[in-house]
Structures are given as structure tokens and as C-alpha cells.
Structure 1
Amino acid sequence: MSGTDDALHERLLAFVGRPAATAGTGKDPVNLPMIRHWCEAMGDAHPAYRGPDAVAPPTMLQAWTMGGLSGHTDRSSAYEELFALLDGAGCTSVVATDCEQEYLRPLRPGDEIGFDTVIESVSERKTTKLGTGYFVTTRTDVRAGGELAGTHRFRILKYAPAPRAPRKPPAGDPPAGKPPARRPRPVVNRDNAGFWEGVAEHRLLVQRCGDCAALRFPWLPGCADCGSREWDTVEASGEGTVFSYVVMHHPSFPAFDPPYAVGLIELAEGVRMISNVVGVPYDEVRIGMPVRLEFLRVDEELELPVFRAGGED
């Protein structure tokens, strides 16, 4: 880092350990309607989240602390002061990067939520494809009835945007002597090798629990419903619909030509998988659109399952 960066980082480090929210309270107690909405959005029908003995999905931990559009009145000024300092240094953009959660006890309907948030760390100046800036991590301790129920760490990058290169026209043939860019290779391990063996045979295989017969995707070593490690496979018909989708504009990788649509496909068998939607322009993809499986050869070594819009061969 330069001397200027060192001086700024020293000022930023003064915020580490300062509270961002003290004795915060959830706007609503843990409740079944919010649990139901969450489960419907996530497609999670696990019986533990329904009925008189329901618990909240652990990943809802942060949801009970959110302030909504009106925010919380118990926030300190530390976070705003930190952001103002970064804005003044040219780091005017922000992007969420990741979160970590630790669960200590289940939350149940009726639990009153309290929380404290502290600025846990500020990194040195980092350079990313988006630009240069600082990673800021906050830690929120979530309590139910005064008892620590879990911890949520949330990390953002506050950065100065990098200058954008002029948009290139769609890639044509690579320059003479330069091989075309290759797609990233999928990670194949002992838990999913059977899936990729099926793809090589133009078969889309879905795991089926050997005890409760629940279908699951992606492939896992055990059943999420009953815990059994016994399983076999069923071959998917290839019929499906677009459950949700995003259009990728950025970042640009050499082997891809954005914008393109990535869909969460609900197969006829009831499980969902992520893949590309092909056969229509990216801006014509719609939720509920019928699609059908096909296999796309992307290079001499790799074929991938994709879904063609229209549901027709």
C-alpha cells in the first residue's frame, strides 16, 4: 500500500470494535407466516417448518433482525461515519460479497429477537475486477429471550469503480494461432461423479433416497429428509419450466458472451437445477416458460446439460 493508503487504513481501523447497533430488537417475533413465505420462496417443504412444533429455518437468522424500509432506530452512527470516510476516499460503490452464519439453537414462533452488531474488521486496500477498495465485515449476535441463538457475519466491498473498457463487439473467430477460450471445468468428486457419467451418456440422473424415496438435486451423500445414506437414481424426462432466472451482464469471462440467461429450472420430477436457457433471446426468458433438456458440446472434452425454451425437440 502507498503511504496515503496506510494513513487511510489506520483511520478505518479505528472503527473496528465499534457498535453499529446496540440492544436492537426485531420488528416482529418469530412467526409462522414469515416462515411460510420464506419456505415458499426457497421451495423448502421440510416438515420441521410446519405445524404446532415448527422451528424457523436456520438460514432465516438475519431475516428477524432486518429493519425494512423504515430501518431501525437503535443503530449507532459508526457505520455511517465509516461509509462517509470511504466515500470521501473515492470508494463510492458498494457490493455485498458473502456472509457466514453460526446456529446455536433453533428459533421458534413467539421468540422475541434481540441483537447487537459490531464492526468486526476492515481489510487493507484490495484490488478486484470491480475496482479497488476495502472489505468491511460486521458481526451480529442474535438472541432469543436473552439467549444467544446465532451469529451472522456480513461482508461488503466498498470500492472505487475501475474504469470500464469499451464494450467489445461479439467475439468472432479467435486470432490465428490462438485457441478459443475454454469453459471452466466442473468440479467432479466422489459425491457427484455419477451425475457427470450420466451427462456423458446424455442422461440427466436425479438421486432418489433408498429409504424414503425423496428425490434430490444437486447430488448429496445423504438424504435431507430422513438422513439415509442409501440411494439410487432415476432418469429425468427432460421436461421442465423456468422457476426463476437471472440475466448475466457482468463480469465478462473469455469463454462466455454476455448477456445470457441462467435459469433455475423446475424439472417435471419436482427437483430444481441451475443451467442456461437457450433457444430464445435472453430478454424473452420468462418465469413459467416450458423448456426441454438438451446437451450442449462446448469443446472437445465437455458437454453440459442446458434447457431449450419451448419444450419442443
Structure 2
Amino acid sequence: MRGGERAPEAAGDTLAYAELKAFEGRAAAVAGRGKDPVNASMIRHWCEAMGDAHPAYTGPDQVAPPTMLQAWTMGGLSGHEGRSDAYDALLALLDGAGYTSVVATDCEQEYVRALRPGDSITFDAVIESVSERKTTKLGTGHFVTTRMDVRADGELAGTHRFRILKYAPAKKHGVAGERGSAGRREAVGRRPRPVINRDNAGFWEGVAAHRLLIQRCGDCGVRRFPWLPGCNACGSAEWDTVEASGEGTVYSYVVMHHPPFPAFDPPYAVGLVELAEGVRIVSNVVGVPYDKVRIGMPVRLEFLRVDEELELPVFRALADAASEGGS
């Protein structure tokens, strides 16, 4: 999503890129302060929501999960006083040029030290980059990346990079309601590309070979998914992989109705599938109407080619379960 060709003349064609480029390096937030110190209650809520029972997150030597880094900086509905005029001016400039929609695209975090209950959180943020105009399936716009340095009691604890796309929505073509027609299929277009990085490249190489690979810790043997650079049970950076058998059951699911997106055709079911190997994966449940998916339904892995470049792992309801669901 970060790439893309130059957009045709459209919204924002009067906005010189130099105007946006001038914001790079300017502050996005100055002397921001977390509204609460690091505390056990928030850690507990986070771990319960994530299903993370690592013993490091409880007990007398408790630390916060590293992925909570941004959580301590969030300002809630009332926001933060430290947000800069420069960042507001950049967003206003993009709004004025017609890029009035926004979507978060990705984030990156680097961890320097653990956060512990009682730590007082402060932060500063900078507008790190503003891209040239890009065309995506959502529309034409500019990617804005901010970098936040998070400190605990004045000591650098980590860095959080956050990227958004400010865009003018693409015009939709075709007639609504033409599900299954050639015109509808043309309007749907290509699926978004997965973000592949050094931490998950092996997973996608496995998918290309029709293998669903699960990481296994080289020290404690715990299996994990999605792929991570270190074990969330013992912290070891050593690991190998095991290939999933493909058998699983629907642990939970949602049915997506809204918002509509050019690459998808709602409603459809998205399942949290528990594999026989004990890990869970989010993917589509196919082979059964979306309103017949049920918790506990047995499913089997298959690979779906969605276009000439991309295949994805999906899970097909087994025949017996599908017939029961349709009865």
C-alpha cells in the first residue's frame, strides 16, 4: 500500500509537493505526557484481551507487554495538550486540497527497555515523512509518517512509527446490486497486498508453496502464531517451524457487512480458527453461507488464488458441518 503509481490529475492537483515536504522534521507533539502512569490494571486488561498469560506480566517483578508502548501515550477523547500546530496545519492543508479521508496503514515499534508499574510516561513526536502523491485502491493521497519517542521517567523506552494515508476516495464504477456480474467483478479489483517484512517473510514463502508454517520456540518449544521475532512465552529469539496439518475448528467469528471496500464483496465470514497444533489464525471461512458459520465448526485449510500474484490460506467448512449448518 505504500507504493503505487503517480495519480492522475484529480483532487489535490493544485497542491505542490514542496508545501508538504516542508513539514518533514517538524514536531507533531512536544512534551506530551501520559495521562496515567504504567499500572497493573491496564496491563491486566490488555493481557486478558490478547489472551497473553506470560508470567512476566504479573507478580512482584511485573512488566508491561512491549506492544503496549503506544497505549500509555493515548490521549483518549479529550486528546493531548502536546499536539503541535505544525501537525494540525499539515492535516488542514491536505483536507483543503481534497484529501479529506484518512486510514491508518501500518505501525512499527522498537523497544529499548521494559515498562514497569509506576513509570511516568512522556513523549515527543516528529513528522518523519510525507510521501509524494500515490494512487491506491482506496483513492489518491499522501502517506504521512510520524515517529514518536516514548520515555519512562525520562529514559528512552521505545520508538513508535505510525503511518496514515490522507486520501480522496476513488470513484466507484458499476451498478450496485450486480453481485456476480462481470461489471461487479471488475469493480471489486485486486485484494490489498500483505505487508511482508523480515519477521514474517518465511510465512508467506510457505503460503506460496501451499504450506501453513507455525513458529516453534527453539528453547521452550511453545508454538506461536502470528509470526514474531521472539517467543512470547520465554523471550527466546531461537525458533524453527512446523507445518500445520490443516485441521481446525472455528473458535470465534464475525460477519463483515460494512464498510464496503472495492476489493471485497460483503457480507462474508471472518473466522478465528483454532488449529490442531494449538494456535489460532484469522482467515475467511468458505464453503458455507456466511450466516451458517458456527463456533466449533470443523474446517480444513485450503489455498485460494485471489489473483495472478496472490494466494491466501482460507478454511473450508467440512461437508458434514456445512450440511448441518444449512439445514
Aligned mate of 2:16, from 8, 18, 34: 8
Distance in 2 (CA, whole Å) between partners of 1:54 and 1:310 is: 47
Q: Is the 8 A contact 2:34 2:121 kept in 1?
A: yes
For the 8 Å contact 1:211–1:230, the answer to whether it is kept is no
Superposed CA deviations along residues 181-239 of structure 1, whole A, max 9, x for unmatched, are 99999999877888998x78xxx886766864534345789854343647767857633
Please, which of 95, 110, 114 is the counterpart of residue 106 of structure 1?
A: 114
Counterpart in 2 of 1:239? Answer: 249
Aligned CA distance change for structure 1 residues 308 and 83 (closer, same or farther; 3 Å): same
Which consecutive residues of structure 1, in runs of 5 or more, have no partner in the other structure? 175-180
2:170 counterpart (157, 162, 172) = 162
Contact preservation (8 Å) 2:26, 2:86: yes
User: Following TM superposition, by how much is the alpha carbon of 1:142 offset from its aligned partner in structure 2, in angstroms?
Assistant: 0.6
Deviation string 1:260-291 (CA, Å, 9 cap, x unpaired) is 222222347642112222355436657xx222
Percent same amino acid at aligned positions? Answer: 60
The answer for the alignment partner of 2:286 in structure 1 is: 278
- In structure 2, do the counterparts of structure 1 residues 123 and 173 end up closer, same or farther at CA, with 3 Å as the change threshold? closer
- Structure 1 residue 42, shift from structure 2 partner: 1.8
Deviations 1:5-42 (A, max 9, x none): 47532222332222222111001111111112112222
- 2:108 is paired with a residue whose SS is strand
Q: In the TM superposition, what are the counterparts of 1:76-91 in structure 2 within 5 Å?
A: 76-91=84-99
- For residues 158 and 218 of structure 2, the distance between their equivalents in structure 1, rounded to whole angstroms, comes to 34
Partner residue of 2:50 out of 42, 52, 60: 42
Pairing partner for 1:30 from 32, 38, 47: 38
Deviation at residue 84 of structure 1 after TM alignment: 1.6
Larger Rg: 1
CA RMSD of aligned residues (A): 4.1
Deviation at 1:57, TM superposition (A): 1.4
Q: 3-state SS of the aligned residue for 2:43?
A: helix
> Match of 1:291?
297
> 3-state SS of the aligned residue for 1:312?
helix
Q: Measured at CA, do residues 161 and 23 of structure 1 come closer, stay the same or move farther in structure 2, by a change above 3 Å?
A: same
TM-score scaled to structure 1, two decimals? 0.75
The CA distance in 1 between the partners of 2:213 and 2:22, in whole Å, is: 54
CA shift in 2, pair 1:84/1:30, >3 Å = same
Please give the alpha-carbon distance, in whole angstroms, between the structure 2 residues aligned to 1:16 and 1:192: 34
Structure 1 distance, partners of 2:34, 2:74, is 7
User: TM-score of the superposition, structure 2-length normalised?
Assistant: 0.72
Aligned length: 296
- Cα deviation code 1:111-156 (max 9, x no counterpart): 1000111222212222222111111111111111111111111111
Cα distance per residue 1:27-83 (max 9 Å; x no partner)? 111111111211222222222222111211111111110001111122222222222
Partner in structure 1 of residue 124 of structure 2: 116
